[in-house]
Amino acid sequence: SQTIHQWPATLVQPVGSPLSLECTVEGTSNPNLYWYRQAAGRGLQLLFYSVGIGQISSEVPQNLSASRPQDRQFILSSKKLLLSDSGFYLCAWSVLRSGNTIYFGEGSWLTVV
């Protein structure tokens, strides 16, 4: 069965510091991968998606970036965090087959102070 792991689960970072969130998927190959953000009390915003290694599309301009160095690895980064980057970050995956459900990781809580 497929599983998705995301880490770290929680982090508190000062403004201007770098960020790296990592996500890996097991049990499937060539998945679509996604990074979503959920600000406190708000809906989900798609930040990045990837259809393959090295292929990243950005949905929203910001100081975040994403990379996919391996088929089942997706990384969210920032060189300098802003206060507005605080939120709940969710990695997700899907494969193009019947149902096409998108499955979410456990999430990472980021607080920028």
Partner 1 sequence: ELKVEQNPLFLSMQEGKNYTIYCNYSTTSDRLYWYRQDPGKSLESLFVLLSNGAVKQEGRLMASLDTKARLSTLHITAAVHDLSATYFCAVPYFGAGSYQLTFGKGTKLSVIP
Name the site residues for partner 1 (rule: CB under 8 A): 32, 34, 42-44, 46, 49-51, 57, 90, 94, 96, 98-107, 109
The residue among 56 and 65 lying less far from partner 1, judged by its C-beta, is: 56
The residue among 5 and 79 lying less far from partner 1, judged by its C-beta, is: 5
The residue among 30 and 80 lying less far from partner 1, judged by its C-beta, is: 30
Distance CA 49, CA 113 (A): 27
Using CB atoms within 10 A of its CB, is residue 99 exposed (0-12), middle (13-18) or buried (19+)? Answer: exposed
Distance CA 110, CA 65 (A): 15
**Residue 6: how many CA atoms within 13 Å on its side-chain side?**
26
Rg (CA), the chain: 13
The residue among 107 and 110 lying less far from partner 1, judged by its C-beta, is: 107
Distance CA 49, CA 58 (A): 7
Distance of closest approach, residue 53 Cβ to partner 1, in angstroms: 14
